[in-house]
Structure 1
Amino acid sequence: MYLARSAQLATAVALAAGTLVVLAPGAAQAAAGATLPFTSVEAEAATSTGTRIGPDHTQGTLASEASGRQAVRLAAGQRVEFTVPRAANAVNVAYSVPDGQSGSVNVYVNGQKLARTLAVTAKYSHVDTPWITGSRTHHLYDNARLLLGRDVKAGDKVAFEAANTQVTVDVADFEQVAAAAARPAGSVSVTDRGADPTGQGDSTQAFREAIAAAQGGTVWIPPGEYRITSSLSGVQNVTIQGAGAWHSVVRGSRFIDQQSGAGNVHIKDFAVIGEVTERVDSAPDNFVNGSLGPNSSVSGMWLQHLKVGLWLTGVNDNLVVEDNRILDTTADGLNLNGNARNVTVRNNFLRNQGDDALAMWSLNQPDVGSSFTHNTISQPNLANGIAIYGGTDITVSDNLVSDTNALGSGIAISNQKFLDPFHPLSGTITVSGNTLVRTGAMNPNWNHPMGALRVDSYDSAIEAQVRITDTTVTDSPYSAFEFVSGSGRGFAARNTTVDGATVNRVGTVVVQAETPGAVTFRGVTATGVGSAGVYNCPFPAGSGTFTLTDGGGNSGWDTTWADCSTWPVPGQGDPGPDPARNLAAGRPATATGSQDVYTPGKAVDGDANTYWESANHAFPQALTVDLGARQPVRRVVLKLPPSAAWGARTQTLSVQGSTDGSSYTTLAGSQGHRFDPATGNTVTVPVSGDVRYLRLHVTGNSGWPAAQFSEVEAYLS
């Protein structure tokens, strides 16, 4: 069931303002995001004796990694007090403490101090990944949960007080946790096989024996804590079930590690909380590493302090991953790592991932017919909220992504392969109904920003049909839609349509086009645009053009950033380029012909003593300069070497301009222009046209049987 589009926008605006995110259980499915069993309240919206920090978008700061880009810093003895938004008996707090420190937080309900405290630690945060270019110390936050031991109602006050270390509080999730579920009839309990519910003994063997005994049935994990010290394998044709994620807790950094299985595995309703403190890519420190086999499911799980929640390879046909919480992973939340067929990932909540929160990576085999739908993603701190790297007929729909940082967009649709054999995007890629709040980031490797939604022809051209519909972008720090070839090789991003989008406040531009391609926009409306509607500057220079087709119904973004030599600065507007700058300097130049070493590039190299000379005795000839973006050219200056050895001559020429490199109009009609060393061998031709391509069409030269120019310069005035 879908809410009206105005409700979707209201949700995004509420997120942007740092107010409540109310996603109650049993409610109608929101237009974007998951239906969740808790309500979140931002610390900056609470009452506090501490210091509010942010907003900030600088890589590697507490404010930039926080939800809403703001948080509250508490010194020992300071507190933040939340007004409870709903009936609850439990709370989860996202927080940070300084690197190397641990401590506790006192908890108060309506002014009464509880006997129980909330433990806080930097053990699982402040992660370094020096092998990832552009990364800095990141993953600055962690999550800690607490059963309050009493019921609180809407309007009650719950406060958190730093007891013995500085604590930065980001957000609190209030939840009514149900009583522990009963043991299913006929199930095999792990405690019957010797598991220790106190968490002191090693329960690994008991879990293995229970799984072996329960083939075709259910393994029961009663309330308690269970420690396992190595991975489980050979898991097939079994249900593994707990009493609820707040009641049945497995402590271990690896749960299932197997490369194949018969499938029909159903894992649900318990927590797996690991001890992963650093990211080691070669280690299988994941809840699931490999394959569950076909027709399996994972639901109702709380997964925390792992490297990856689910790293899925092999056969996982028809897998459903739903209604889970994945928190504080040092790498991805979930990665469909090739050969994922008809996998559905829906209604999950992910926070504080150290890489992509949700990813499909078509390595070895393509991911086919799989989907990420109705998930809520917050604070991936090194990469994208959702990333699709290759694959066939993929769907990304109705997700809510907020607060990406450093190397990521809210959603990335990409042909970045990382390794071979890779299977690029093919078929139809459907990106529909997603809401992106404060997404996009400054890429330290590119030294320029990434947009909220990025289409990236990184290692090969986009050949798939990419259909982006009904997108809401709110408070993007930079651009809304970016089209780029992230490798810098200029592969085309084409076959893309953007239909129906609401863009509300972007720091720079609505469309950031940095590579050749062709995209059609229809029904895209924008308000609060920081700099200009479009940045259209394909790289590398001369790689081709980006054609933006206006399909109708667009509004609020009809201007173009004027100067491809500079990046828009958020919120500064478009100051326009320096009118004294030569727009043709160093730009790609081509010609109908050239003589010997006198190539077209010599006419734009800034050296008046070098020159282009066309093929001899073959008029007409033409020289074309690609200015890199559409520019309002008003003056063209033509030069020959200033040496007196160059006698006076007249060249007959016209000046032509084009926006697409194929259809040209005349900016200055054909006439003779005299070059005289007595006046510097310089000619100025007034023109008037908004063009990207500038062409000199030469039909004669009285001093030599060829066209000749040592410099071609173009100016705005």
Structure 2
Amino acid sequence: MHRSIARHLRRTPAVGAAVALAAGMLVAVAPAAHAAAGATLPFTSVEAESAAGNGTKIGPDYSQGSLASEASGRQAVRLSPGQRVEFTVPRAADAVNVAYSVPDGQSGALNVYVNGTKLAKTLPVTSRYSYIDTGWIPGARTHHFFDDTRMLLGQDVQAGDKVAVEAAGVQVTVDVADFEQVAPAADRPAGSVSVVSKGADPSGTGDSTQAFRDAVAAAQGGTVWIPPGDYRITSSLSGVQNVTLQGAGSWYSVVHTSRFIDQSGSAGGVRIKDFAVVGEVTERVDSSPDNFVNGSLGPNSSVSGMWIQHLKVGLWLTGDNDNLVVENNRILDTTADGLNLNGTAKGVRVRNNFLRNQGDDSLAMWSLYSPDTGSSFENNTISQPNLANGIAIYGGTDITVRNNLVSDTNALGSGIAISNQKFLDPFHPLAGTITVDGNTLVRTGAMNPNWNHPMGALRVDSYDSAIDATVHITNTTITDSPYSAFEFVSGGGQGHPVRNVDVTGATVRNTGTVVVQAEAQGAATFKNVTADQVGAAGVYNCPYPANSGSFTLTDAGGNSGWSSTWSDCSSWPQPGQGNPEPDPRRNLAKGRPATATGSQDVYTPGKAVDGDANSYWESANNAFPQSLTVDLGSSYAVRRLVLKLPPSTAWGARTQTVTVLGSTDGSGYATVVGPQGYRFDPATGNTATVALPGGTSLRYLRLTVSANTGWPAGQFGEVEAYLAS
């Protein structure tokens, strides 16, 4: 039933789940102030870049195809063999899951230490499930660099204890560690049919396919019990209905198969719960149903407590799945979607799930053949979809997307997309009321290589037909979007209008370009939308095609921080390229292009403008003077510089002699502040402030270092530039 879909329109947006037919310390990355968004999870995540160790931090980076750009928080730690990262355990735990990457074609292990004592067991690491090439998708590059590996520690650790992982025999980039106190294995339900009693092999050596089929047949109206163990299934199950499939817990009962259930229809009443299904899918083959569930579970079914990993899609749902509940699951490392309601679904509830590292949309509804109706995605946590959207709604009637947390979309996706992109016919466009409420989007939106400019954190897209449904977008938090916050677009380039949209009660913080990116004809109403640290301007209002009509923004009151409009529709604003007046509190140099007269080893110029003082630029040694130049993108009246070195006490106090020069064109430079000695002392944060005279306008900022009492080179951990004195 799967076949390839090629799309060649000028403005191809997110890959979309439909192509699968073609196809610091964080608690699951949620900001503490918005704990209501996202899932309630059994584990606590700790980012590698916030932990101790002797590896090399990479990122932050938003460039498509880079390792750091696919990491949680856009940062990770690279370990050479023998190097380690040491996590402080945030709460009592006896298990850990580590997200990692190794170079293509390599495998190895991570040694594990608990409070300094090396464990006998290791965490296996491999590139087998990474480096996916989807060359048939316009704009796609090799992606899907990370993977997950887990282990029971064999002992309890407490909050404050130390768990370290050490690269053994292979370079490993560590992204994040999830620490969990795993519940004891569940007991066998009374009256259940054990797959072992039907001949299943819990050692994983024998083929248990027929045993599972026999157990399902024998347990109609009852429960199939999957005891602790590893079971190998070599072909999919079908005819599954009116039965419960239950394991002892997802850390104990593990089924190894790339196709668990494949059936076009079912009478329903299926309950699947509390075990793991781990596949062997190493590439994306859209003609193959390499999914945990492919097709229908039938009405009034449920999937809960599952660990689903290394498959193409977690759940690709067609046919009758009315009133299905999918909750409390982990779906990891799929080469395409996490879950897709592929038409006809009514009353489906997908809630409190954790999804990481999908190769397409993490959660999607696609109204092919008939509309998805009255269904919802609620309180899910989604991290690192690496080719498309966190959540995508392609058509459907009366759909709800509520209280989800989405972070770190990459390449071809938004955090949330509400779209009339049909992919195939017969398609059912958006209708009724679409409710998008209480969602938090962190570092979402991406540069689309097909458009040559970005997609917003939250996108409403009249791709193939007008948006005529009522779209309510309420109580949204958008933080650190690399580009825009809200986008209204007709991505197919046909100029269809976006209508009947209201945005109420949104908080936008540190968006790279604009708050509203309007590229379609139509209208939207905004109320109580507040923004701070806006990169370029409040609004980019340039419908495409240029003669397709205007987009009207109605101010319903309570809006603040985004009143300006980008003035030039012939150019797309770059992150931080202010027009007309950027926020004076914003660091104009962050993320801007940087060059230098020389650099030492990995201490390159970009390290001085990456927003992290722990990474640094170091010039060529023993060759004063040396210069670092930052292109701010536009000319600004810069009034203050903040120069930083890494705050670690390992950096002894030093004085650097620095001259500040400026240029508006990058060729002729004038001295802004003559050579002065600036003291950097770890006791006071290793920071120096440089006041610039008023009236100085510069685009290119050049710092020339002629002496350094602590090291024979110029060194900056961070160079920050501000309009405010």
Interval containing the TM-score (normalised by the shorter chain): 0.7 to 0.9
- Match of residue 325, structure 1, among 323, 330, 333: 330
2:93 maps to what in 1?
88
Structure 1: distance between partners of 2:439 and 2:410? 18
Is 1:253 the counterpart of 2:240? The answer is no
Picking from 346, 359, 363, the partner of 2:364 is 359
Tell whether the 8 Å contact from 2:564 to 2:580 is kept in structure 1 after alignment: no
Residue 48 of structure 1: CA displacement? 1.5
2:275 to 264, 270, 289: 270
**1:292 equivalent among 281, 292, 297:** 297
d(CA) in 1 for partners of 2:359 and 2:379? Answer: 21
Counterpart-to-counterpart distance in 1, 2:273 and 2:429: 34
Which structure carries more relative contact order (alpha carbon 8 Å, separation 6+)? 2
Give the Cα separation in 1 of the matches to 2:555 and 2:241.
53
Q: Which 4+ stretches in 1 moved above 3 angstroms?
A: 27-30
1:20 aligned to which of 15, 23, 26: 26
Cα distance in 1 between the residues matched to 2:580 and 2:359? 37
Cα deviation for residue 333 of structure 1 reads 0.1
The 5 Å alignment of 1:109-148 reads 109-148=114-153
Aligned-pair distance for 1:179? 1.1
Alpha-carbon deviation of 1:380?
A: 0.0
Pairs within 5 Å for 1:661-700: none
Q: For each residue in 1:99-131, what CA deviation from the matched residue of structure 2 results, as whole angstroms up to 9, or x when unmatched?
A: 000001100000000000000000000000011
Q: What percent of counterpart residues are identical? A: 80
Per-residue CA deviations over 1:47-77 (Å, capped at 9, x if unaligned) read: 1200000000000111100000000000001
Report how far residue 489 of structure 1 moved: 1.2
Shift, 1:396, TM fit = 0.2
Aligned to 1:570: 575
- Residue 53 (structure 1) aligned to one of 58, 66, 75: 58
Instruction: Name the SS for the 1:476 alignment partner.
Output: coil
Mapping of 1:458-537 within 5 angstroms? 458-537=463-542
What is the 5 A alignment of 1:573-652? 573-574=578-579
Q: Deviations over 1:138-194 (max 9, x none)?
A: 000000001101100000000000010000000000000111100000000000000
**Alignment of 1:234 onto 2:239:** yes
Q: Is the 8 A contact 2:260 2:292 kept in 1?
A: yes
In the TM superposition, what is the alpha-carbon distance from 1:574 to its structure 2 partner?
1.8
**What letter matches 1:21 in structure 2?**
V
Q: Provide the C-alpha distance between the structure 2 equivalents of 1:46 and 1:54, rounded to a whole number of angstroms.
A: 15
Distance 1:22 1:394, change over 3 A: closer
Alpha-carbon spacing, 1:28–1:42, altered in 2? closer, same or farther (3 Å): closer
Q: Whole-Å Cα distance in 2 between the matches of residues 458 and 29 of structure 1? A: 32
Matched, 1:63 2:64: no
Match for residue 343 of structure 2 among 335, 338, 341? 338
CA distance in structure 2 between the partners assigned to 1:30 and 1:315 by the alignment: 34
Opposite residue 133 of structure 1, the aligned amino acid is: P
- TM-score if structure 1 supplies the norm length? 0.77
Pick from 18, 38, 49 the counterpart of residue 44 of structure 1.
49
Q: Distance in 2 between matches of 1:527 and 1:350?
A: 30
1:34 corresponding residue in structure 2: 39
Counterpart in 2 of 1:191? 196
Do the aligned residues in 2 keep the contact of 1:512 with 1:535 (CA within 8 Å)? yes
Q: 1:585-620: per-residue Cα shift (whole Å, max 9, x none)? A: xxxxxxxxxxxxxxxxxxxxxxxxxxxxxxxxxxxx
CA distance in 1, matches of 2:327, 2:35: 15
Shift of 1:30: 3.8
In 2, distance between residues paired with 1:425 and 1:131? Answer: 27
Gaps of 5+ in 2: 1-23, 582-725
Per-residue deviation, residues 602-653 of structure 1 (Å, max 9, x unmatched) = xxxxxxxxxxxxxxxxxxxxxxxxxxxxxxxxxxxxxxxxxxxxxxxxxxxx
Secondary structure class of the residue paired with 1:401 = strand
- The RMSD of aligned alpha carbons is 1.3
Which structure: larger Rg? 1
Q: 1:430 maps to what in 2?
A: 435
Deviation at 1:231, TM superposition (A): 0.5
TM-superposed deviation, 1:352:
0.0
In the alignment, structure 1 residue 219 sits paired with structure 2 residue 210: no
Would the aligned equivalents of 2:25 and 2:47 in 1 still touch at CA under 8 Å? Answer: yes
* 2:367–2:427 CA contact under 8 A, matched in 1: yes
Flag the 1:165–1:326 CA change in 2: closer, same or farther, 3 A: same
**Which residue number in structure 1 is paired with residue 551 of structure 2?**
546
Does the 8 Å contact 2:520/2:549 carry over to 1? yes
TM superposition score normalised by structure 2 = 0.76
Matched residue SS, 1:208? helix
Shift of 1:22: 6.1
Query: Quick one: distance in 1 between partners of 2:429 and 2:384?
Result: 27
Cα contact 2:566–2:580 (8 A) shared by 1: no
Residue 447 (str. 1) matches residue 452 (str. 2): yes
Matching residue's letter, 2:217: A
